[in-house]
A = this chain, B = another copy of it.
Amino acid sequence: MSKKTNNEKLTIFALGGVGEIGKNMYVIQYGNDIVVIDSGLKFPEEDMLGIDIVIPDISYLTENRDKVRAIILTHGHEDHIGGLPYVLKHLNVPVYGTKLTIGLVENKLKEANLLGETKRILINEDSELKLGNTLTATFFRTNHSIPDSVGVCVATPEGNVVHTGDFKFDHTPVNGEFANLQRMAEIGSKGVLALLSDSTNAEKPGFTPSERNVGIVLEDIFRKATQRVVVATFASNVHRIQQVVNAAAATGRKITVIGRSMVNVVGIASDLGYLDIPDGMIIEPEEVNKMAADRVVILSTGSQGEPMSALTRMARSTHRKVDILPGDTVIIAATPVPGNEKYIGRTIDELFRLGANVIYSGSNSGVHVSGHGSQEELKLMLNLMKPKFFIPIHGEHRMQRKHALLGEAVGIAPEDIFMIDIGDTVEIQGGVARKAGKVTSGNVLIDGLGVGDVGNIVLRDRKLLSQDGILVVVVTLSKQDGQIVSGPDIISRGFVYVRESEGLLDEANRIVTSTLQRLMSERVNEWASLKTSVKDSLGRFLYEQTRRRPMILPIIMEV
């Protein structure tokens, strides 16, 4: 299929998605042809204060823009498509994806005013894409917590590189779309040079249960509930939403949809035929209060306890349209993403306090299953593909490591398994693979409209400010004789209650004054020295008195 070019080599690396959960972006390059798989975002780590989202550093791609043939999307989750609006601003490349994925992408590009200039190409499982002179991409259907997910096989002159996308094996899929085991087996029997496979659940033994199990539990809860039922889940989990619809239909309830992303996804997925909703089933939130309580389902965002989400606002009784009433049943059909445990716990507590019966995954309730395959499924994928080389991707380092052990367990030699961090390249030439150098990679932090203008110094300052606040010390000196004309004035924020700490701040003022007077008598008049001395003497005093280290910002004015 692909012609072999002499002396060229195959290079595989990740710009995001390894050593982390999020901002997935993988690169396959052969000579002058580059294919990018996925373009995701990551939500900020807890030490990235004030940051909204994180995307990969794509310097390598912009420096090689002439070679980039395609961005192929495996599915429509934010950690796979959320970085596109930022990436496409710097790299106008055709974007390939299945119908639902492209539908979700178009919604994003519209908001970013990039729809017109971006070439979008629909693919399906049977598509074959010629990409540049040397690469050909084909696809295989997988099961995941969003419909229309695919894995990618990129044929290169060195051999086939398979990227699984996110997957599980669901033998009773909600939409009847089975993972294409036959296609995977066929790819495997033709020969796979390198497999890049999803490590998310590599720590979990056994099999991940079928999404259909959740439907059975939901219908049972709907049937027993004597009042309204609220279901919060990820907006993108179209299968789950379909099962909520089915359970509502089976129990004679109508559904109202609240939360911006839920309204969006339900709209797009229905329009594109991925959701089958009976006519008249969806009602407006305003109609809820007019209906009998046992005829209503409220489908909502907020399954992670996000502070601004619909469920959180209902829990705090601050939602404009829907209140939680005593006796309502609230189903939180999701597990907390690490870091969100406290938020979701607080939401559950608040719902209980309102008198709701809350059903959540912590209590073994069966209202959620993962979209990622567990250890037995990961081994099944490895055995279907029988790769020569194996690169665990999509996970924190420990998950990649566990996945590597599964690779060894099914018989791949340890030296043929490559543990990579972002930027680490694996080069394959003449059937020999080795870890080569690093390409530029990293986190680009997005804060408001700023892309990459917040870095370590700004974050360090935010961290300092968040711990003990700031004291601003202002003093005006005379140009003539360098004497104090006005001040020192000390203003604090985030340090102590000023009213209760007047004595402390008065004393601080005296210390600054005497420090300045001493320096002047010693004829020190460089501002840098004055500022350093004020910082040191005041910092020492405050630490002794309070054991705190606020940021101290001395400002000297001259008149």
A residues with CB within 8 A of B: 19, 45-46, 49-50, 203, 205, 338-339, 341-342, 345, 348-349, 352-353, 358, 362-364, 396-398, 401-402, 447-450, 453-455, 457-459, 461-470, 472, 474, 476, 485-487, 489, 491, 493-497, 500-501, 545-548, 551, 553, 555, 557-559
CB-CB under 8 A for A551 and B447, given A342-B339, A476-B559: no
Closest to A346 in B: B396
Q: What chain B residues lie within 8 Å of A352 (beta carbons)?
A: 397-398, 401
Q: Pick 23 A–B contacts, CB within 8 A, sort by A.
A: A50-B466, A50-B467, A203-B363, A338-B342, A352-B397, A358-B398, A447-B546, A448-B468, A448-B548, A450-B547, A453-B496, A455-B497, A457-B497, A458-B495, A458-B497, A462-B466, A463-B466, A464-B494, A472-B553, A472-B555, A474-B555, A491-B553, A559-B559
Q: With A and B bound together, what is the CA distance between A461 and B175 in angstroms?
A: 50
CB-CB under 8 A for A497 and B454, given A402-B363, A555-B474, A557-B489: yes
Q: With A and B bound together, what is the CA distance between A402 and B360 in angstroms?
A: 12
Q: What chain B residues lie within 8 Å of A345 (beta carbons)?
A: 338, 396, 398
Q: What chain B residues lie within 8 Å of A458 (beta carbons)?
A: 469, 494-497
Q: Is the beta-carbon distance between A546 and B449 smaller than 8 angstroms?
A: yes
Partner of A462, one of B364, B469, B501: B469
Prevailing SS type, chain A contact patch: mixed
Q: With A and B bound together, what is the CA distance between A396 and B341 in angstroms?
A: 12
Partner of A349, one of B396, B466, B467: B396
Q: Is the beta-carbon distance between A548 and B489 smaller than 8 angstroms?
A: no
Q: With A and B bound together, what is the CA distance between A447 and B542 in angstroms?
A: 13
Q: With A and B bound together, what is the CA distance between A500 and B458 in angstroms?
A: 12
Q: What chain B residues lie within 8 Å of A50 (beta carbons)?
A: 466-469, 494, 548
Q: With A and B bound together, what is the CA distance between A392 and B124 in angstroms?
A: 56
Q: Is the beta-carbon distance between B461 and A494 smaller than 8 angstroms?
A: yes
Q: Is the beta-carbon distance between A462 and B472 smaller than 8 angstroms?
A: no
Q: Is the beta-carbon distance between A494 and B449 smaller than 8 angstroms?
A: no
A198 → B minimal CB distance (Å): 17
Closest to A353 in B: B397
Q: Is the beta-carbon distance between B476 and A557 smaller than 8 angstroms?
A: yes
Q: Is the beta-carbon distance between B469 and A465 smaller than 8 angstroms?
A: yes
Q: With A and B bound together, what is the CA distance between A111 and B364 in angstroms?
A: 44
Partner of A466, one of B49, B341, B449, B558: B49
Q: With A and B bound together, what is the CA distance between A402 and B500 in angstroms?
A: 42
Q: Is the beta-carbon distance between B467 and A49 smaller than 8 angstroms?
A: yes
Q: Is the beta-carbon distance between B486 and A342 smaller than 8 angstroms?
A: no
Q: Is the beta-carbon distance between A493 and B547 smaller than 8 angstroms?
A: no
Q: Is the beta-carbon distance between A362 and B470 smaller than 8 angstroms?
A: no
Q: Is the beta-carbon distance between B19 and A349 smaller than 8 angstroms?
A: yes
Closest to A485 in B: B559
A559 → B minimal CB distance (Å): 5
Q: Which 3 A-B pairs have the closest CB atoms?
A: A448-B547, A466-B466, A465-B465
CB-CB under 8 A for A348 and B398, given A341-B338, A453-B500, A491-B555: yes
Closest to A446 in B: B547
Interface centre among A402, A462, A465, A500 (most CB of B within 10 A): A465
Q: Give 6 new A-B contacts, CB below 8 A, not counting A50-B469, A454-B496, A486-B557.
A: A49-B494, A449-B546, A458-B469, A462-B466, A465-B470, A472-B472
Q: What chain B residues lie within 8 Å of A546 (beta carbons)?
A: 447-450
Q: What chain B residues lie within 8 Å of A466 (beta carbons)?
A: 49-50, 462-463, 465-466
Q: Is the beta-carbon distance between A476 and B486 smaller than 8 angstroms?
A: yes
Q: With A and B bound together, what is the CA distance between A462 and B453 in angstroms?
A: 22
Q: What chain B residues lie within 8 Å of A396 (beta carbons)?
A: 345, 349
Q: Is the beta-carbon distance between A470 and B453 smaller than 8 angstroms?
A: no
Q: What chain B residues lie within 8 Å of A494 (beta carbons)?
A: 49-50, 458-459, 461-462, 464-465
A375 → B minimal CB distance (Å): 10
Q: What chain B residues lie within 8 Å of A463 (beta carbons)?
A: 466
A116 → B minimal CB distance (Å): 23
Q: With A and B bound together, what is the CA distance between A384 and B495 in angstroms?
A: 51
Q: Is the beta-carbon distance between A46 and B342 smaller than 8 angstroms?
A: yes
Q: Is the beta-carbon distance between B467 and A547 smaller than 8 angstroms?
A: no
Q: Is the beta-carbon distance between B467 and A362 smaller than 8 angstroms?
A: no
Closest to A461 in B: B494
Q: Is the beta-carbon distance between B203 and A447 smaller than 8 angstroms?
A: no
Closest to A337 in B: B341
A346 → B minimal CB distance (Å): 8
Closest to A468 in B: B50
A26 → B minimal CB distance (Å): 20
Q: Is the beta-carbon distance between B474 and A469 smaller than 8 angstroms?
A: no
CB-CB under 8 A for A557 and B487, given A402-B363, A497-B455: yes
A395 → B minimal CB distance (Å): 10
Q: With A and B bound together, what is the CA distance between A363 and B426 in angstroms?
A: 29
